[in-house]
Amino acid sequence: MPKVLIIDDDVSFCKMLATFLTKRSFEIETAFSAETAMQKLEETSFDIVLSDVRLPKKDGTEVLKVVKSKMPKIQVILMTGYAQVSLAVDAIKMGAFDYISKPINPQKLLEVLEKALESEIPQERQVVKTKDKPEKSENLNGKTLGTPEYVSGISEYSKKLNHYIKLVAPTNMSVLISGESGTGKEYVAKQIHDYSKRKEQAFVAVDCGAIPKELAASEFFGHLKGSFTGAINDKTGHFEAANKGTLFLDEIGNLEYDLQVHLLRALQERKIKPVGSNKEIEVDIRVIAATNEDLEKAVEEGKFREDLFHRLNEFLISVPKLKDRREDLVIFANHFLEKANEELEKNVIGFSEEVLGLFKNYSWPGNLRELQNYIKRAVLFTEGEIIEKKFLPDKLLTSETTEKEGLFKNDLEKQMIIKALEKTGGNKSQAARDLNIDRKTLYNKLKLYKIDL
């Protein structure tokens, strides 16, 4: 399968292009900057590099120079948002295989990629330098580290979240994960486990709010046959099942107060006693808990034990709301699109611009879970390759943009204008063309946002 590295700082376009080519039997990796691309080229081999000409800091021609000097057998194809014959000629003189103007014609792109592969099939893929890469470790579910089930994101919130995950994962510290429902707390917990020294052992997830009070001791610690009515067999509890691995206690704030005492004792002593047994069993577990409540407030109100709170809260990770991770929204949307395609056996490749606009202006009170549900529903209804507005639920279509969201939209537009001006070296006419607006509109926007570049 041909392997292609796509380099483009337009995350939405990059992801949609990756989805399109993946469906056409290409193996795809993406990079949103030249720096990231060079790192991937050092670590992985590719057949083709498909790069936008305009990139932050370093442009596509600089990537072209490095690739052709250090791995000449890799074919490089450049893309740009506007046609410049002189740039195309210069790029080809420098060794580019071809040059494509945006908006990309999918059929034309496929033809160019096929020609690039046919021109000279590399007998051995080239890399900048040889590195000994560690093999990916598998957990009990057979998934490798970095599994697509966890999407890291590129926003500042995501970078901070991922830094905390990798910082605490190798330790044995108890971790408390806080965040609204639907933000992906269990995925964060699983990622901590997958990066820990316990990754080869069990990851046992327990919904504390779903355990009946009368069966809680049995669920956590197990029981012996005949220890109470209905105990027809021996049962292994969650603590013993997670021995040597990780015990994830989801929605810990829902645990009954009197059960918190038993949990605290087990966490302190790392010993459990199954119901009906006189024998204690030692357990070696790492505990990760999650809550969508304010546990400190619950402690103040006497609803949650303070000693248990401090036992669980050795390291706190707060998972941000989806509406605070707008830069990640398209990445998450494409991830859920791929999952929905697989589950529903469909072949939808992306979203219309109108749909992406609605996604960006919606407040997402249900966070990632709501986004996933909406996309799965839309994939089910979509008969073509693109999800259109008509396939979205009425709630999303009729929602009004809040004042805060309106401010976000304005800030996003301001940043797009500044970025366009920086790319063109202050050339307002060219920036207007790149933004698909006329010069008068651009000047009005510059005045509105008080931009002086």
Q: Residue 444: its pLDDT value, please? A: 67
pLDDT digits (tens, 9 = 90+) for 164-216: 999 999 999 999 999 999 999 999 999 999 999 999 999 999 988 777 777 88
Kindly tell me if the per-residue pLDDT of 86 is higher than 60.
no
Mean of pLDDT over the chain:
82
Q: What does the alpha-carbon distance between residue 97 and residue 78 come to, in Å, rounded to a whole number?
A: 8
> In this prediction, what percent of the chain has a pLDDT beyond 70?
86
What are the distances in angstroms from CA 276 to CA 20, 222, 224, 233?
Answer: 59, 9, 6, 12
Same fold, 3-119 and 156-318: yes
Give the span between the Cα atoms of 384 and 251, in whole angstroms.
Answer: 40
Contact by Cβ (8 Å): 421, 453: yes
pLDDT number for residue 9: 82
Residue 88: which pLDDT band, with cuts at 50, 70 and 90?
Answer: low
pLDDT at 289 over 80: yes
Residue 347 has pLDDT above 70, yes or no: yes
pLDDT at 425: 81
CATH numeric code, 156-318: 3.40.50.300
Instruction: State the CATH class of domain 3-119.
Output: alpha beta
pLDDT higher than 70, residue 402: no
Rg value, the chain, Cα: 26
Average pLDDT over residues 285-303: 94
HEC string for the chain: CCEEEEECCCHHHHHHHHHHHHHCCCEEEEECCHHHHHHHHHHCCCCEEEEECCCCCCCHHHHHHHHHHHCCCCEEEEEECCCCHHHHHHHHHCCCCEEEECCCCHHHHHHHHHHHHHHCCCCCCCCCCCCCCCCCCECCCCCECCCCCCCCCCCHHHHHHHHHHHHHCCCCCCEEEECCCCCCHHHHHHHHHHCCCCCCCCEEEEEHHHCCHHHHHHHHHCECCCCCCCCCCCECCHHHHCCCCEEEEECHHHCCHHHHHHHHHHHHHCEECCECCCCCEECCCEEEEEECCCHHHHHHCCCCCHHHHHHHCCEEEECCCHHHCHHHHHHHHHHHHHHHHHHHCCCCCEECHHHHHHHHHCCCCCHHHHHHHHHHHHHHHCCCCEECHHHCCHHHHHCCCCHHHHHHHHHHHHHHHHHHHHHCCCCHHHHHHHCCCCHHHHHHHHHHCCCCC
What residue segments make up the domains of the chain, in order of their start? Answer: 3-119, 156-318, 323-398, 403-448
pLDDT at 146 over 50: no
Q: With a cut of 80, say whether residue 120 has pLDDT above it.
A: no
| CATH assignment of 403-448, among 1.20.58.100, 3.40.50.300, 3.40.50.2000, 1.10.10.60 | 1.10.10.60
pLDDT tier for residue 399 given thresholds of 50, 70 and 90: low
pLDDT at 236 over 50: yes
* CA pair distance 67, 264, nearest whole angstrom: 57
pLDDT digits (tens, 9 = 90+) for 251-272: 999 888 888 998 999 999 999 9
27-36 mean pLDDT: 90
Whether 149 shows a pLDDT value over 80: the answer reads: no
Q: How far apart are CA 198 and CA 173, in angstroms?
A: 12
Please give the CATH architecture assigned to the domain spanning 323-398. Answer: Orthogonal Bundle (1.10)
Confidence grade of residue 81 (pLDDT, cut at 50, 70, 90): low
